[in-house]
Structure 1
Amino acid sequence: MTDSDRPILIAPSLLSCDFARIGEEVARVEAGGADWLHVDVMDGHFVPNLTIGPPIVKAIHAAARIPLDVHLMISEPVRYAEAFVDAGAHVLTFHWEVTGAAGTGAAIEAIRATGVPAVGISVNPDTPVEPLEPFLDSLDLILVMSVFPGFGGQKFIPEVLTKVRRLREMGFEGLIEMDGGVAPATIADCAAAGTDAFVAGSAIFGSEDVAATMKEMRRLAAEGRQTAAI
């Protein structure tokens, strides 16, 4: 797949929305042109924060018209995978830091067996991507964290862009997603490195005009790709 064939997917992170009005917030970003809804699941163990479980994901799914991109920042992703798929996850991503080389293959198989359309793995900013090489053909998506997981609103870590480029050099042809500090000021560099899906929380939900912000981010991502291709 060439860069021109790759999608540009904007995935607003619901962690930054107004949870008291979550149905309205979902509708607002859908109307603004969002491709996916990014749902962060945290267990207070793998990361020092607690967010939502399958019942809330199910409620979001009932309100949504676009796919749910569910990011499991939890210590037991395989144990809970089926519950989140039943709740409506379209993409289900777990962390390499939880499974490591010994457990990743089995985790991919177990999550794939739930029937979820897409299986992803995530790496933290200080985790190299080279150990993922044996699993590249069995993954649909790799999520590169550009902040340390657990809380929204952190500053983008530009050094992670080398990992995106490395994944493409290693031959990964699936989707690469970037999460953390993605905004109009950073999205072009992410796209130029080879990123397809862009998770943005405060940059979108903190904007006065979410449609205009997402349109501008999509334009900047396309320009970033074109610049890299020259």
Structure 2
Amino acid sequence: MVTNPLDYVEPLAKAGASGFTFHIEVAKEYWQELVDRIKTRGMRPGVALKPGTPVEEVYSLVEGENPVELVLVMTVEPGFGGQKFMPDMMDKVRLLRKKYPSLDIEVDGGLGPSTIDMAASAGANCIVAGSSVFGAAEPAQVISILRKSVEVAQ
């Protein structure tokens, strides 16, 4: 999470990024300009929600004339790895999936073999996993478990 995402669009595009997800909490005043700039640079725009932000905050970004293509529901507070998954964030995922059946819905924070089924069954189809993969004795096995859960839920 950065405080001025506009400053990062150009450098990330030059570095070859294919997507750019920003936090709604820091871009409320200029999100449309940000989405336009992201798309102009050939990247896929996404918006992230911290746990305390109501899901309704992103509706206008998904329904806008030039919409975001992904909503990331944070299942921990942004800032550091290894935090505990917040299952109550799955309500946001379920609401988004019901309202936008074809939207890419990503979850980030505390995802691993013990929490993936909850996220996938709520409607998440994109998963961010850090500690559970990089801290595993067999990272490929964990990735396989995560992937299979999402595929089965769809």
Q: Same fold (TM over 0.5)?
A: yes
Q: Output aligned runs, 1:1-230, within 5 Å.
A: 73-100=1-28, 102-116=29-43, 118-137=44-63, 138-171=67-100, 173-223=102-152, 225=153
CA RMSD of aligned residues (A): 1.4
Q: Map Cα deviations across residues 69-121 of structure 1 (whole Å, 9 max, x no partner).
A: xxxx1111112211111101111101000012x322222112222221x1101
Counterpart CA distance in 2 for 1:211 and 1:96 is 33
| Distance across 2 between alignment mates of 1:196 and 1:179 | 11
Aligned residues: 151
Query: Contact 2:18–2:42 (CA<8 Å) still a contact in 1?
Result: no
Shift of 1:172: 5.5
* Residue 220 of structure 1, CA deviation: 2.9
Structure 2 residue identity aligned to 1:190: A
Structure 1 residues without counterparts, runs of 5 or longer = 1-72
TM-score normalised per structure 2: 0.91
Q: Contact 1:119 / 1:140 at 8 angstroms: preserved in 2?
A: yes
Is 1:96–1:104's contact at 8 Å kept on the other side of the alignment? Answer: yes
Task: Assess if the C-alpha contact under 8 Å between 1:133 and 1:170 holds in 2.
Answer: no
**Under a length normalisation based on structure 1, what TM-score does the superposition of the two structures give?**
0.62
Q: Would the aligned equivalents of 2:47 and 2:58 in 1 still touch at CA under 8 Å?
A: no
Give the unaligned 5+ runs of structure 2.
Answer: none
Secondary structure (helix, strand or coil) at the match of 1:89 reads: coil
Q: Which has the higher contact order (CA 8 A, sep 6+)?
A: 1
Matched residue type, 1:82: E
Cα distance in structure 2, aligned partners of 1:218 and 1:84: 27
Is the Cα–Cα contact under 8 Å of residues 123 and 144 in structure 1 kept in the other structure? Answer: yes
Deviations 1:181-218 (A, max 9, x none): 00000011101111011111111011111111111222
Residues 162 and 193 in structure 1, CA contact (< 8 A), matched pair in contact too: yes
